[in-house]
Structure 1
Amino acid sequence: MKNRLLGVIDATTYHEELGELMIHRSLAALPFAGRYRLIDFVLSNMVNSDIESVAIFPKFQYRSLMDHLGSGKNWDLNRKRDGLFFFPSPIVDGEKHGIGSFSHFAANLDYFKKSRQEYALISNCYTVFNMDFRPVLDRHIQTGCDITEIRKHGRSLEMYLIKTSLLIELILKRDMTGYSCMHDVVSSYHHSYQICTYEYEGYAEMIDTINKYFTINLDLLQPHIWKSLFLRDQPIYTKVKDEPPTRYLKEASVHHSMIANGCQIEGTVENCIISRGVKIGVGSVVRNCIIMQKSQIGENCRLDSVILDKDVKVESGTLLKGSNESPYVIRKGTIQGALMNS
């Protein structure tokens, strides 16, 4: 099974409704669950499925993504042969883009032509799931399908398995056929390809809005969801950062929350996801919030249903309140003060 499957991650997607969190990063690099990035899930799934060559096609604000992935060492992809590849996609105004854009692939066609893998798995970068792709490949081969689309409850997860030679053919003939991406092919009735579907039974959520980002993060506080996503024999890998344990002072009160390393907690935290290096001052109450890395919350603050991006400073006495349907989002590196709320 090894070396039969090529991994292709399309990281070019931009969701307008996530714009507040994508000003300084690509969607693939969006922090999730306190210590991960969205791309960690599909990339880890590929590695756990014996995929040893992965190509990532980024486009928007991809510096943070490249910094996060580095050489691929944390995913065992820093190899002399195969490994992790970055192919920044060209920006063509007015051109239609979808998952698996053939024009993006065409700019790096040599990568596909030189690959040793007979099949290719093309995926989006923003699905939170834990899946073994090997059964998909087994069934794809057994049934003789040309393209297999992975679905969940009948809805496409925007993941496609295809023979590498057929993928190259679709790329080369894109102008003739009018197919610009994988979705165009599987949704068309004007070809002779055999399109199959594979229904995935496990947990899978696609993050494309602020509300879904907020809800799916906090859903991880439910043990049955956490256990269905983070499996012992199929770990989700991420960039390793060595930080000291979180320090809880005597005034601290923490309930039903996940708190990463390197934090200092003096206030009350309830039903929250707290990333590394966060400081929460004495007398502050933080409920139903997502607090990203190195943000600082002063004393006697009240935060409810808030998303703080990285490096945000909330000055003492500040009140910030959103709702489950419309969480209050604070941009990266900004300062929120009590006077701003008056």
Structure 2
Amino acid sequence: MASSILAATSLCRSCLARAPRHPSSAILPAISPLLSQASAFSTTPAQLVISKKTRSPRATKKKKPKTHWKIWNHADVPKWALMDAIRYIRAFEVGKDQNQMKYDLAVKLQTTKNGPTVKSRTKLPKAVRTDLKICVFAEGKQAEVARQMGAAVVGTTELWEEIRNGKIDFDRVLCHNSVYPDFQKANLGRILGPKGLMPSPKTATVVGNVAEAITAMIGASEYRERSGVVRIAIGKLAFTPEELRDNIKTFMNSLSKDLGRIEEDKRINEVVLSSTNSPGFSLSGEFRSDIGQDGDAVINPNFELAGIDAVRAEEQGHEEQQAEEETAAHEGLALA
């Protein structure tokens, strides 16, 4: 009797061992309501979005992509006169070669992410870099003129082949009008474009007079807007404060003209001066801290440095004015 019971038990266990892990399709309709009720009380991470009160999934809002670059509130950020910023920056560069260390100026803009950007160059009163290697794509007399003016590399077809092979030993590129169509057919944009060396009529690097273009390019500094910030090497530590001030004035005037040519409204949020090894110092626009006595403005006063507080105040003023106009219009209709 006992042996028969053991045999029956072993048979039952063997049946369970061979049983499928997942329920068959025949019993799924019967157990699916039970499974759905059990899942409502699950504490797995996938179910954490279920509301505790209604036991229903909460509506998740999709974040709208930001159209403008982030602007920080500079109300509590100390502003420095140029002379004060220079003193602190030089303290960070003690023992360094003053002809190798450079002042960098960063102009932070209030602008959209996908809008037009600023890209230009200006000739500073005191050149920061004078050892530029200029490459000129030209033939005939224009090529001879380029060599006489001190161009490091001059040529066309053979030079383009060297560029394809990775030989790029120059810092700036100019192209004469006569060879520009052939240059476009050479398809060098993928090589020169990422390096910022692609000549284009928009950047005034496709020229008719090579001599004038080289003269203007020698001693000129290029700047470009990236992620809402325009950066430029504005001077060397060996420069006097007056030389640095003149360079900043020239650059800011040039930048103001570039911003004026763009249809989109771009405003300056902050101007920061730093060096190779120092932190940044937000400039106040003054040359000395005693600006009221014998100092003078570093930045053109006609070119407003609109901070975030000023921008917000202006926008709030427009909104209040619009609300007053709407209220007056409603009152006029009511009286009528």
TM-score of the superposition, structure 1-length normalised? Answer: 0.24
Larger radius of gyration: 2
Structure showing the higher helix proportion among its residues: 2
State the structure with bigger RCO (CA 8 A, min sep 6), 1 or 2.
2
